[in-house]
Structure 1
């Protein structure tokens, strides 16, 4: 189990590195989208390449960050029933979910998407739109994204079994602890924005008087 936990730690580091890198793509998408809109409105110039770049980047964010999202326990959960059970029972449910649902689905999509990407790469597939981009890089995102998600599921499985054996902390509790610093920052930003709005409101009221 000690060896498996080391593998789990390496997988988590990989997904964390990918997730942090992908986070910057959000800013790039905003810049590309805004630039494209401004050029189209001001100069009446449009480019299929720029439009497709936005779609490619959005796909990269969605697919490559899936494993990171799972690591941080920020994916959608429907646990109305499970949350009523003990933590140990919930962990057994987590293990069954990963083994019978998450891993099979990820591995199936990975297996089917590899030849899908390879065919596009060999043919150097181009967009059907005039001036569009090549297609194989965005198709590569599918096996890579689901591969990272499968690795995250494997890591979670190892940590869940380790938790039941008393070899490591609760992986869900660890994920919640990872979320807290970001929540604190968001709360601080919210309070700062509210304070500025309140100061602006008071300034307007004084001016009116």
Structure 2
């Protein structure tokens, strides 16, 4: 089980690094959004033509990247939306069972479906080098590629989640809520 727990920790570290990059992408997205808002009004009054479809689409593309690629990071931190009617009152083993079954029955099949459904569109977009229909717009094929990449990242993080839940059920690991910082971050004996 120690190999699998090390694998789960490696996946967690990768998701954490991805999330840190997305923090910076979020800042860039906000700055571009602020630029778009300011120059739209400046253009009205000065006619300088500082605004462009490139900046507007870039803002939307960055938003899409943050949303899509941030899903695995969100899953790692258990920060996704959860209907917590009974879950909060369950023991760590009960929570592990819910997470294990939910991951196997819902998360992984949904990700597989999304990969299967999105792949033809991504391949077609690359085949024709799809561009935005707006004048001066950006290419669409790179951003469409983020869809399957995001679902692969979610699957990988889901595997790490499965490993941790099995470890909890086998009694070889503490759940993260009860583990100390050294167990969560890989410094202790789990």
Is TM-score (shorter-chain normalized) higher than 0.5?
yes
TM-score normalized with structure 2 length: 0.87
Q: Secondary structure at the match of 1:127?
A: coil
Q: Structure 2: where are the runs of 5+ without partners?
A: 182-190
CA distance in 2, matches of 1:123, 1:171: 46
Matched, 1:33 2:33: yes
* RMSD (Å), alpha carbons: 1.8
Q: How many residue pairs were aligned?
A: 177
Match of 1:157 among 162, 175, 190: 162
Match of 2:149 among 144, 153, 177: 144
How far apart are residue 163 of structure 1 and its match? 1.3
Question: What residue is the counterpart of 2:86 in the other structure?
Answer: 81
Q: After alignment, is 27-36 or 108-117 more displaced?
A: 108-117
CA distance in 1, matches of 2:129, 2:31: 28
> Could you tell me whether the CA contact under 8 Å between 1:64 and 1:148 is conserved in 2?
yes
Richer in helix (by share): 1
> Which of structure 1's runs of 4+ aligned residues deviate more than 3 A?
171-174
Q: Secondary structure at the match of 1:65?
A: helix
How far apart are residue 5 of structure 1 and its match? 1.5
Question: What residue is the counterpart of 1:72 in the other structure?
Answer: 77
CA distance in 1, matches of 2:66, 2:178: 25
Q: Structure 1: where are the runs of 5+ without partners?
A: 178-209
